[in-house]
Structure 1
Amino acid sequence: MRVIANRCAILAATAMCVVLTSPAVAQETGGDAVGSGAIIVTARRMEERLQDVPISITVYDQEDISKRNIVNSGDLATYTPSLSLNSRFGPEKASFAIRGFVQDLATQPSVGVYFADVVAPRSGGSTTSGNGVGVGQLFDLQSVQVLKGPQGTLFGRNTTGGAVLLVPRKPTGQLEGYIEGSLGDYDLRRVQAVVNLPLADTFKVRLGVDRMKREGYLDNQTDIGPSHFGDVDYIAARLSVLAELTPDLENYTIANYTLSDNNGIVPKVLGCNEASPFAPFACGQVTRQEARGDGFWDIENTETDPKIRMESWQVINTTTWLASDSLTIKNIASYGEFRETARLTLEGEAFLLPNGTPFIEVIRLNNTPGYFNSIQSTWTEELQFQGQTSNGSFRWQAGGYYEASDPMGFTSQSTSVLLRCPDLQALQCIDLIGGRNISRPYQKTWFRSRGLYAQGTYEFTDQLAVTAGARYTWDRMTHRYDQFAIFFPAPGQLEYRCTNPVRVPDTTVTAPDDHFPCAVKFTAKSDKPTWMIDVEYKPIPDVMLYAKWARGYRAGGAASANILFETWEPEKVDTYEVGAKTSFRAGPARGYFNLTGFYNDFRDQQIQATLIRAPTSPLVGGSAIINAGKSRIWGVEVDTSVTLFDQLKLDGAYTYLNTKVLELDVPVLGPELVDIYSAIVPTAEVGSPLALSPKNRFTITGTYMVPLDDSIGDISFGATFVHTDEQVVSLATAPQFQKLKPTDLLNLNASWDSVMGSSFDLAFFMTNVTNEKYNVSVNNAFFSFGLESGVINEPRMYGLRLKYRFGS
């Protein structure tokens, strides 16, 4: 208890030191922060005022999303200081990170994404993708809520970083809707359309569609493949049906569908390793870029048919029964599917011989013909009970949760390493080095998660309340991996072999799809309790102080491709928080100011490590997940919003994040490993900060509403400035590439709602106004393949929106 008390004291003191200099953001939903228009959130699985919830939350409503032109997860992370994006494989395959909790490779998400209270369908692939971080979800929403810190008591999927809640607009009793069109540079075209139909007093339907296309901003300097990368091409549709069967029984069904199909991203080569055997080719590419005078957004592509295609759909059914004035029973069931096809060059290299002809590709990733890179189904079932005592002094909820995610057949990807493949899909490859192959594993992944939970809040007085909750979760992940490869012993000859010499004898098979003799299967099981207890005190009605202790955990996992590193254990965190939520109205000013200080004791964290092959190893090395000791994370988060004279609105958010690796237990290369790997290089070091954890990050938004007669309409001008300190991205590469540089982004918007009293709205937006140039990831290939590359940011973009509203 003394340790906890000391940590809380440190946090409180630190918080007070920055309170006067730290602006922040969370948006109002059409009213002031004190009255009936207060911000409503569902962070505790029920509707509550933001200011009554003892959780650090950033909230956006649909107006905020539109004005900031938030289209995908990367845009959301730009505006939320505590939220980062791991986009090593491009924005379509990104994952969220909060407070230094990062998802790598095939680990389970550290940040859960929930739509209408249901976790997103799993992807089941070997690289991060899916799990709700994509395009097509961020339209026609009531709110987006970013919850910081472990939320392992009430939410289905256990995570250590936090949760992102997407709350869709529910069908209403009004005939209404809108049609919105957008045009902009890079040939931007976007159409959104929503209609709400009250077919009866007790039966209401809402239908929405979002279609967007935009040309890529990366210019391809080779004659291979398309001329542009980084394009956008998706369609999303949503159908919501609300049936009020009786005054006490409601059934709410949502069907979502999203299809995104584009060229993907090609990393830009950032530098070369002159000591590498590949230096003539890697450094030759750098020299070639410089000689051409390549711009920042110029890249070289070697994939003949690049593609990132993701298709997902999900049906959610929520039945709510008001059993009595003091008891509500809710059943939430869902089923969803996710499919991914990926063909891309992982390193962005274009290695040429002196005569200019292609030499080899370092790593190319393709789907195997006839197979998806990921194809997974997920269904969930949750039975929830909510109740309260007759006087309302005790509110509680309890329930059970079950999630089953299964493969819908084998997934398979063909990965060429150090081969020249004019047509990888057709196995037209040349082995110029000797002993190289196309890795073609066939995989299946199963997930199971079961949980029982209960949480309650008891109000001792109108000022003092205590909330406590607990959950016990059983998780299991099973991964089958048929490690299979295709060799090229001579021109025109193919040889098929199992390539897991440790787990499977060196077996030669006779056909390109005879992978069954190569099968291995591993299972990772974990079951852990998580809990939360907090004390809430309101000295005056508009101020709430709270102190909280929460335990979070992220399940272990299995990925049989990492030979001798096939499984990893769960990670856990103890989070200690103190905070204050304040609302105010003083003369012409109204708003709120929320402050949180936190300390995280992080153990057995799951981090990525690079496996360097031994000189005589039959393998090419690779990456693995290891449980790497202990870290501590502490910081301060501030969210605030102030409106002056009903005309000037200032929103801000600030996060100070201090992370440090305290212990790092890198596996020792024993006798069974020395002939396979020569070194294990983790992406972190003792004493170093965690990846994607900038020390200071803040965003400030100013919106000025021009005072005009209602007959003219509502005109406003807005600007958002976002600063991010430098941050470690990986320590498994050369020092000059280990950190992302600090960035300063400026975005502008202007809107004219109800133009001249009509039903038309007109808006303008511009992102990255100053055309900042920076990379957002690195690929850790400096020592293995002699070059370093990374995904680079979007340049300045702008556009216009015209919206027509109809109905009530």
Structure 2
Amino acid sequence: MKSLTHALCLSASLMAVAAGAPAMAQDTGTAASNAAAFGDIVVIARRREEAAQEVPLAITALSGSTLDQKGVQSVEQLRDVAPGVNIGAQKRDEAQFYIRGQGPGVINAGQRNFSSVATYFAEVPIPVAGPGVFFDLQSVQVLKGPQGTLFGRNTTGGAVLFEPNRPSDNFEGMVRLNGGNYNRRGIEGVVNVPFGNDLGGIRVAGQVERRDGFTRNITSGQKLDGRAFESMRVSVLLRPTDGLENLLIADYSNRDASGSSAVLRNINPNAAVSPNALQGTALDPFFPNIPLVLGQGASRVPISCLSTTGTTPGCPALDPSSPFPYVFTVAGTAAASGGFGFFPDATLNGLLAQQQQLGVRKVAFPGRNYNRAQSFGITNKTTWEITDNLTIKNIIAFRGQRTDEGNDYDGTPLPLIAQFNVHTQDWQFGQDQFTEEFQIQGSLGERLRYIVGFYHEKSKPAFDPAIPSNAFGSLNTRIVTNTDTSDALFAHAEFDLTDTIQVSGGYRHTWDKRKASLAQVNTGTGACVLVNPQTGLLQCPINYSAKFRASTYDGTIQWKPMDGVLVYAAYRRGFKSGGFNLPAPTPELQSFNPETVDDFEVGIKADWDIGIPLRTNLSLFYDKFKDVQVTVPIAIATTGIASVAQNLGKQTNKGFEFETSIVPVEGFTLSGFVSYLDATSDITLPGTPAIKGRQAVYQPKWKYSITGRYAYPLNDGGEIALQADYSRQSKTNSPDYLAPAPFNTFPGYGIFNARLEWNKIGGGNIDAAAFMSNIGNKKYITGGYPLYTQIGFESVVYGEPRMYGASLTYRWGN
């Protein structure tokens, strides 16, 4: 209720500023003067360069300088600067995007993910961007709503575009040193060398960052949640002749960090870990469906008794007269006394009490977590402007991804759920991707512009993967492969009916082919332990294949009633491919169907002339989903944690996003946003968090932010600038809808940040800055493993504590 009140008050305040604005007279200089005041960011939402204010689509565009001023160094921080955007995180620095209630699909170790929100680097699809991408960027562009006709991969939620700086025609560069608490130290650099005579140039940029972890494992002494990466990017721009341009980008990033902390929040001793503890064993035909429960309670038989001889305290007594082996006595006793139990309830409750005493910045479990990853790619863009009315563009790219990690997911000393490398190979998982996109762009006369093209994507394993895990004391290795092919033809056109009215639309047809295989073997013996849900028998591997095809399309009408004002209404049809659950707990859940959406959006983007610069952007959306893919985290014997997707019949998402900026006095800019999202399910899908009237998981209904920046010019040409911002979001629902309150939700929170800059010190080329984030040192949850109901524990990932530091930047050239 407090978040709702805050958001409504802020919304009313922001809109009140603009309430009288439409009545103000407009002149032809309004848009230009406001662009100078706020910056007019160039975006490629329609696959050509346009000012963001000129595009009939809800876009949040952040320039490279804005990212620096807000201290954005990771994906998680975009949550606080973009309305309609949320982040769900299960691991530090590997967050997943949600836009307008739509987000990642199936998230399983080694399984390729088709998300509702696609991420692009230099117009090429990539996995979710880590911290090593936030350097030397031209912009980050968040496109909201389905992006199914013009961009490489079909999405139902939106797209996030990371656009790096291109080589310029100036000899320039910069070096930046960073330092801060938790022993943070880093360096960032850029060197741009032109070839001269407008022939292009080369740009080299890189970043190295180290920071100790802020969560201490009191058992091992390790500092978790650290940051350690190095990234490099080389861009070469060639203009061999007029109208012909080739841009080559090679990028590389390496991460070797301490891994994420999982902080225990709750324990459920009565959670049934498995409905059939003896499945796949010789005892199963004689004692079917004996449950395995996390706690032993007052009467359950310890599961460890199956490996004893009858003399162990706490186990059933040995009957010398029985003709059957002792394990039959154990199983029979368990069947009569409520099943098997893993651990004494007192042990479980003691671990929870210990964690509560430690707080959220300390954990206690054996072993050492780690997170290693490499990503690399080569992108080549060729643009040939044949005539003023005809351009050919080709984008070809190869990208690779490698991961290796060790995580204790439950955050306890118990052998519940963990992942690690047994060092049989350097990397646990690797995927290679090849993409090719060909476009023809042009115009017919002065009123019609068009683009037609073809897109091809092929993704396949880089090597035979092996992902070892410990699931309730069972050491097994998961071997999963994914081979996906996607082809599409697309077309888009824009036609000016008059000087102020334009209609536009597009069409795309997509063909997807998906293949996957899964094997689960005992790590020590190599024996298959994977049960085929169709037959109930052990099988390694289980192979899957499917084909999907769909048409997507959109239509938009826009009107410019006066200079600086754009009003639009749009309809978009979106599609997200179906796929497989690897593994599947039951036969009917082995695969899931595509999801589609019909999206309706109206909006206004306006630069007002009220004597001072004022910009207001408002969008309202209404999305009708069919067969929306709902994911549920579960635990499967021999596998550990798995994410299982099911199709929900229908869901309606609706809401609004309002952004505004104003310069009330020279040098002072006040900006903010407020967004509302109603992402409640239309029906109830049993066994999932999709409950009629319940908000979708991880989705706050309300978000708002306000930023103030004052820049004071000095007589020597320098500048002193002070910036402060506050952002807040309301509570979100947990996927574990059956957990008792308050553990079925994550609390809302607000974050306050500030930054002080001294730019161009003494009129020279040196900038200095001091900054602090999360000034109030709020403890807030960003994600985790909500498995209280399924397997008896809930561990969560907390956001960063108070961070502070300083930077020193030297620039040369232009």
Instruction: Tell me how far 1:264 sits from its aligned partner.
Output: 1.0
Tell which deviates more after alignment, 763-772 or 782-791: 782-791
Taking the aligned partners of 1:33 and 1:731, their CA distance within structure 2 comes to 46
Residues 1:250 and 2:245 aligned together:
yes
State the alpha-carbon separation in 2 of the partners of residues 385 and 622 from structure 1.
43
Alignment map for 1:571-590 (pairs within 5 Å): 571-587=595-611, 589-590=612-613
Residue equivalent to 1:727 = 732
CA shift, 1:693, in A, is 1.5
Counterpart among 354, 359, 362 of residue 295 in structure 1: 359
Equivalence for 1:803: 809
| Deviation of the 1:86 alpha carbon | 1.4
**8 Å contact kept, 1:498–1:506:** no
Is 1:210 the equivalent of 2:207?
yes
Equivalent in the alignment of 1:179: 175
> Residues 743-797 of structure 1: CA distance to partner in whole angstroms, max 9, x if unpaired?
0100101111100111100011110000011222241321343322111111000
State the distance in 2 between where 1:206 and 1:362 align. 45
1:522 matched to 2:544? yes
SS in 1 for 2:681: strand
Change (3 A) 1:450 1:688: same
8 Å contact from structure 2 (residues 394, 437) kept in 1: yes
User: Any conservation in 1 of the 2:379–2:397 contact (CA below 8 Å)?
Assistant: yes
The answer to whether 1:600 aligns with 2:623 is yes
Change (3 A) 1:16 1:596: farther
Partner of 1:413: 467
**CA distance in structure 2 between the aligned counterparts of 1:30 and 1:377, rounded to whole angstroms:** 45
Distance 1:64 1:31, change over 3 A: farther
**CA–CA separation in structure 2 for the residues paired with 1:74 and 1:596:** 24
Q: How much is the aligned-residue C-alpha RMSD, in angstroms?
A: 2.5
Amino acid at match of 2:405: A
| Displacement after TM superposition at 1:505 (Å) | 7.8
Preserved contact between residue 31 and residue 37 of structure 1 (Cα < 8 Å): no
2:131 is paired with a residue of what secondary structure? Answer: coil
Q: Larger deviation: 542-551 or 33-42?
A: 33-42
Task: Report the CA distance between 1:612 and its aligned residue.
Answer: 6.8
1:519-572 deviation per Cα after TM superposition (whole angstroms, max 9, x unaligned) = 221013211111110110111122111111001111111243224222211111
Q: Residues 645 and 367 (structure 1 numbering): CA distance in 2 closer, same or farther, change over 3 Å?
A: farther
Q: Distance in 2 between matches of 1:18 and 1:634?
A: 23
Residue number in structure 1 paired with 2:99: 98
- The answer to whether structure 1 residue 264 and structure 2 residue 284 are counterparts is no
Does structure 2 retain, via aligned residues, the 8 Å contact 1:340–1:375?
Answer: yes
Residues 236 and 259 of structure 1 are in contact (CA less than 8 Å); yes or no, is this contact kept in structure 2? yes
Matched-pair contact (CA < 8 Å) for 2:95–2:128: no
CA drift at 1:17 = 8.6
d(CA) in 2 for partners of 1:637 and 1:738?
Answer: 27
- CA-to-partner distance for each residue in 1:185-227, whole Å, 9 max, x for gaps? 00010100100001332130000010000000111121x3x52
Deviation at 1:174, TM superposition (A): 0.7
Q: Contact 1:652–1:699 (CA<8 Å) still a contact in 2?
A: yes
Task: Output the TM-score relative to the length of structure 2.
Answer: 0.84
Q: Match for residue 387 of structure 1?
A: 442
Gaps of 5+ in 2: 1-9, 19-29, 272-294, 296-342
Task: Find the partner of 2:350 among 274, 284, 305.
Answer: 284
1:278-427 correspondence runs (5 A): 278=343, 279-290=345-356, 293-302=357-366, 304-351=367-414, 360-366=415-421, 369-370=424-425, 372-390=427-445, 392-419=446-473
Letter in 1 for 2:427: F
Residue 621 (structure 1) shift: 8.1
Matching residue of 2:757: 751
2:83 to 76, 81, 97: 81
Q: Specify the SS of the correspondent of 2:472.
A: strand
> What whole-Å deviation, never above 9, does each CA across 1:278-330 have from its counterpart, x for those lacking one?
4333311122234xx4233111233x242111101011100000111100000
Which residue is equivalent to 2:488?
451
Structure with bigger gyration radius: 2
Deviations 1:429-467 (A, max 9, x none): xxxxxxxx2221212110111111111110011111101
Give the 3 Å change call, closer, same or farther, for CA 501–169 of structure 1 in structure 2. Answer: closer
Structure 1 residue 780 corresponds to structure 2 residue 786: yes
How far did residue 93 of structure 1 move? Answer: 2.7
**Structure 1 pair 272–611 and aligned structure 2 pair: CA distance change class (3 A):** closer
Query: Shift of the alpha carbon at 1:361?
Result: 3.7
Q: Take 1:610 and 1:169, find their aligned partners in 2: how far apart are those partners?
A: 39
Q: Is it true that 1:151 corresponds to 2:169 in the alignment?
A: no
CA contact (8 A) 1:381 1:402 kept: yes
Deviates more, 1:688-697 or 1:272-281: 272-281
CA shift at 1:498, angstroms? 3.7
How many corresponding residue pairs? 715
Shift of 1:611: 4.8
Note the alpha carbon deviations across 1:407-442, whole angstroms, 9 max, x for none. Answer: 1121111111111xxxxxxxxxxxxxxxxx222121
Task: Render the CA deviation track for 1:220-262: whole Å, top value 9, x for unaligned.
Answer: 121x3x5210000000100000000101111111111011111
- The counterpart of 1:48, out of the listed 22, 35, 50, is 50
* Unaligned runs of at least 5 residues, structure 1: 1-14, 121-130, 352-359, 420-436, 488-493, 508-516, 667-680
| Cα deviations by residue, 1:341-372 (Å, 9 ceiling, x for unpaired) | 01111111223xxxxxxxx3444454662163
2:506 & 2:213 partners in 1: Cα distance? 48
Contact 1:520 1:560 in 2 (8 A): no
Q: Percent identity?
A: 30
Decide whether aligned partners of structure 1 residues 250 and 610 sit closer, same or farther in structure 2, where only a CA change above 3 A counts: closer
- Paired with 1:485 and 1:505, the residues of 2 have a C-alpha distance of 18
Q: CA deviation at 1:601?
A: 0.4
Distance 2:12 2:178 in 1: 44
Q: Distance in 2 between matches of 1:266 and 1:729?
A: 19
Would the alpha carbon gap of residues 619 and 805 (structure 1) be closer, same or farther in structure 2, given more than 3 Å must change? Answer: closer
